[in-house]
C-alpha cells in the first residue's frame, strides 16, 4: 500500500501547480502582447505606405498641372498631363494651357471641364457625353463626329470650330456661341439652345428635330437641307438666314409674316427630296385654305319670294 502524502507534500505540490499555472498564464499574455505589437507595427507600416503613395500621387498631379500650364513642353507631353488630371477628377483649369492638344477619340465622358479654355485642339471622335463644359472655350477645334449628348455647354463658346457629324442630342447649349462653326450633318435633336449665338454658322443637313432655339441668333446662318420638325424658332433672329430645301414650315414659333416671307423665298427646290416637296404642298394648301374667309351662307328665301 502506498502511503498517503503528508501535509507538507500536498502543500509543495499545490505550490508547484500554482507556479506552473502562473508561468503558463504569463506565457499566454506574452504571446497576446506579441501579436498585438505585430498588428500595430503592420498597421503603422500600411498607414505610412498609404500616406507616402498619397503624397506621391499629389506631387504627381502637381507636376502634371505644372506641365500643362507651361508652353515650353510639347503638345504630346501636355496632352498626357491633361489626361492624368481629368482621370484624377481635377476641376480647376483656369491657368492651364490647353492649346493645340491632339487627343482624337479621347473619352471624357462625365468629366468636369467647366471654364476650361481649349484652342486649336483635335478632339475628333471624342466622347464628351454628360460632361460639364459650362463657360468653356472650345474655339478653332476639330470636333468632327464628337459626342456631346446630354453635355452641359451653357455659356460655352465654339468659335469657328468644326462640328461635322457631331452629336449634341439633348445637350444644354443655352446662351452658347457657335459663331461661324461648320456643322454639316450634326445632330441637335431635343437640344436646349435658347439665346444661343449661331451667326454665320454653316448648319447644312443638320437635324434640329425638337430643339429649342427660342431667342437664338441665326443671322446669316446656313440651314440648307436641315430638318426643323418641331424646332422652336420663337423670337429667333433670322436676318439673311438661308433655309434652302429645309422644312422650315414644320418648325414652331414663326410669325405669320415670317411664314409668308419664307414661303416666297424658300419653297423646296427641284433638288429637294420628293417627300419634302409633297409635304410643303400639303402644308401650303392647308395654309391657303385656312387663310380664306369663310363663305357667307345665302339667306333663305321667304315663302312670299317663292
Q: Binning pLDDT at 50, 70 and 90, where does residue 35 land? A: confident
Among 1-10, 85-94, 245-254, the range scoring the smallest mean pLDDT is 1-10
Element holding 65 (H helix, E strand): helix 7-69
- By DSSP bridging, strand 137-139 and strand 117-119 are parallel
Taking only Cα atoms into account, the Rg of the chain, rounded to an integer number of angstroms, comes to: 38
- Mean pLDDT, to the nearest integer, of 140-163? 98
Whole-number Å distance between alpha carbons of 116 and 136: 5
- The pTM (predicted TM-score) of the whole model is 0.76
List all residues 6 or more positions away from 102 whose beta carbon is below 8 Å from its beta carbon. 75, 76, 79, 121, 122
- Residues linked to residue 242 through DSSP beta bridges, in sequence order: 222
Supply the DSSP symbol for 248: G
Angle between helices 75-87 and 7-69 (to 10 degrees): 140
Check residue 53 and give left, alpha or beta (phi > 0: left; psi -120 to 50: alpha): alpha
Question: How confident is the prediction for the chain on average, in pLDDT?
Answer: 86
pLDDT at position 84: 87
Amino acid at each position: 500500500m502506498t502511503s498517503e502524502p503528508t501535509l507538507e507534500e500536498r502543500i509543495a505540490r499545490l505550490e508547484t501547480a500554482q507556479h506552473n499555472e502562473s508561468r503558463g498564464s504569463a506565457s499566454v499574455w506574452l504571446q497576446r502582447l506579441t501579436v498585438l505589437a505585430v498588428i500595430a507595427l503592420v498597421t503603422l507600416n500600411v498607414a505610412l505606405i498609404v500616406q507616402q503613395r498619397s503624397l506621391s500621387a499629389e506631387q504627381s498631379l502637381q507636376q502634371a498641372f505644372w506641365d500643362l500650364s507651361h508652353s515650353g513642353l510639347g503638345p504630346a507631353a501636355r496632352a498626357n498631363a491633361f489626361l492624368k488630371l481629368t482621370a484624377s477628377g481635377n476641376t480647376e483649369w483656369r491657368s492651364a494651357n490647353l492649346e493645340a492638344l491632339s487627343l482624337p477619340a479621347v473619352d471624357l465622358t462625365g468629366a468636369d471641364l467647366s471654364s476650361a479654355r481649349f484652342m486649336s485642339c483635335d478632339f475628333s471622335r471624342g466622347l464628351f457625353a454628360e460632361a460639364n463644359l459650362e463657360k468653356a472655350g472650345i474655339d478653332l477645334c476639330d470636333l468632327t463626329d464628337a459626342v456631346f449628348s446630354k453635355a452641359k455647354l451653357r455659356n460655352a463658346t465654339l468659335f469657328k470650330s468644326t462640328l461635322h457629324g457631331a452629336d449634341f442630342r439633348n445637350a444644354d447649349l443655352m446662351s452658347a456661341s457657335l459663331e461661324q462653326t461648320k456643322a454639316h450633318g450634326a445632330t441637335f435633336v431635343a437640344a436646349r439652345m435658347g439665346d444661343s449665338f449661331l451667326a454665320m454658322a454653316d448648319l447644312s443637313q443638320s437635324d434640329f428635330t425638337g430643339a429649342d432655339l427660342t431667342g437664338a441668333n441665326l443671322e446669316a446662318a446656313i440651314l440648307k437641307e436641315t430638318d426643323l420638325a418641331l424646332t422652336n424658332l420663337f423670337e429667333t433672329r433670322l436676318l439673311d438666314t438661308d433655309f434652302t430645301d429645309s422644312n422650315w414650315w414644320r418648325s414652331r414659333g414663326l410669325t405669320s409674316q415670317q411664314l409668308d416671307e419664307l414661303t416666297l423665298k424658300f419653297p423646296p427646290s427641284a433638288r429637294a427630296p420628293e417627300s419634302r416637296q409633297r409635304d410643303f404642298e400639303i402644308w401650303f394648301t392647308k395654309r391657303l385654305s385656312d387663310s380664306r374667309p369663310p363663305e357667307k351662307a345665302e339667306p333663305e328665301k321667304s315663302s312670299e319670294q317663292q
